[in-house]
Amino acid sequence: MSATPANSAIDPQTDVDSHGDEKNIFAEMRSTEPRGYNDPRAKKQQQGNQPRRDKRDVHGWVVLDKPIGMTSTQAVAVVKRLFQAKRAGHAGTLDPLASGGLPIALGEATKTVPFVMEGRKRYRFMVCWGEERDTDDTEGRVVRTSEARPATEAIRALLPQFTGRIEQTPPRYSAIKIQGERAYDLARDGEVVELAPRPVEIHQLTLIDQVDSDHSLFEAECGKGTYVRALARDIGRILGCFGHISALRRTMVGPFGENNMIPLEQLEALCNRAASGEGSLADALLPVETAPDDIPALAVTRADAARLHRGQAVLLRGRDAPNCSGTVYVTVAGRLLALAEIGNGELIPKRVFNLTGLTASSGRNDEKV
């Protein structure tokens, strides 16, 4: 989302909510990004002053602790440039006005993006009571107000209604398509946007702190497709005081938690040291197989690995044959080889990896959330 509702661009997944910075409790979320970061003239000048560098094969995950004010697309471009990587993409948009975990896949890690996209996400967010806004966050136009403020007991008593599998109506300013057009495009053009409720799953919703009469701090763990902004909107309506998101930080995405995140400044410093021969960029990478960490691993022989690498199925027989079915990630000599399916006594390759190039250092291979 941009600075005004008219330019909002909201992602349809859980990581779509935006926030302001009126509370000190969220001071750690604030960006120190210099002005002009989004100025295309500044970009052109930077590009003109930098020599073109050859791209290289880089494979692994960087979990950027995205600063406020940076879009997910910009974050991918920055990381790709720092690593001089040929390929990069992210696993779930994080709104510019949100901070926290943005998993960025480099090289062959892009083949494992769906595993992260389908995983749970955790958010810490502030709700400001007394105003409902058309974007359900601080950047929108005030559409309803109330002098009422919710009691802590009333908030806690309501939260079970928003836990489990519920029906949720997405915000009007979302990227959901209506007859081929984005809902936020229709909304900013003044059209009435009617979005149908859809099922989402909220695994946990907790009131962390009643900061003051106007602000409450929550934590939510939810599945794909959940809108945190819609939570603030709907809770405020039921309480009769209205509300909107005023701060948001993503603290978990699938297998990646806060201990995996690296701030942009730290990543840039590491890249500068690596360029001068001090340290290695591999230290900033998590292994490709971190993404499918919750599926079984299967080790194969070099002969079977050669068949799988050619896209051929391998017969599973003998007493060492796995007693399972479904998706596994295959290794040979401790190195990731493929994602495969076990069925009818065969191991069928679905995604084969070519990890030639820069990969995660051995020190990060054992790192877990």
> Catalytic positions, please?
95
Alpha-carbon torsion angle 143, 148, 152, 156, nearest 10? -50
Distance CA 106, CA 326 (A): 26
Asked if 155 and 239 touch (Cβ cutoff 8 Å), the reply is yes
Nearest to 95 by CA among 214, 165, 194, 3: 3
Neighbours of 191 (CB within 10 A): 13
Geometric angle at alpha carbon 5, from 265 and 123, rounded to 5°: 50
Distance CA 174, CA 185 (A): 9
Asked if 136 and 10 touch (Cβ cutoff 8 Å), the reply is no
Provide the pairing of β-strand 164-168 with 142-145.
Answer: unpaired
Q: Which two tokens stand for residue 368?
A: 């877990």
Residue indicated by tokens 């696993």: 91
Q: Which two tokens stand for residue 202?
A: 């909220």
